[in-house]
Structure 1
């Protein structure tokens, strides 16, 4: 019984990196499943590689402006839908 609990805890702990890596990747428009798989096979390495890619994207001024413009456009479209429906 105790060994089962330890194994379950180990599986949950080991799945933390892939899930976190996949979620971060998905949040920034990358493939969840690709980064989840990379997180399983290369847990710490994939996390730092994704962090570097996201940091590079955020430091690029043009990319940051494009991301902000997309967010503003999505917000305006949502406001338009709400205004039309009610």
Structure 2
């Protein structure tokens, strides 16, 4: 019973840092840096990360970069191998 409570408490404590690290990693930022920030300042680090990502996505350069990545991915998908 005590072990179950300890595991549950550990999961509850690590939930927000894991989510913060995953969000950072999915936007090509350091997982471990944001995970550590999430451990030390759980709520604040998550809000700061969301603010940074929101500001980044609103910039025209970010949209152009995403469009370029999409075009390159489509070109690679339709690339035909040359015949010998």
| TM-score, reference length from structure 2 | 0.84
Unaligned runs of 5+ in 2: none
For 1:54, the equivalent position in structure 2 comes to 53
- Superposed CA RMSD: 1.8
Larger Rg: 2
Unaligned runs of 5+ in 1: none
Q: Measure how far apart 1:77 and its partner are.
A: 2.3
**C-alpha separation in 2, matches of 1:28 and 1:69:** 16
**C-alpha separation in 1, matches of 2:12 and 2:57:** 29
Q: Measure how far apart 1:78 and its partner are.
A: 4.0
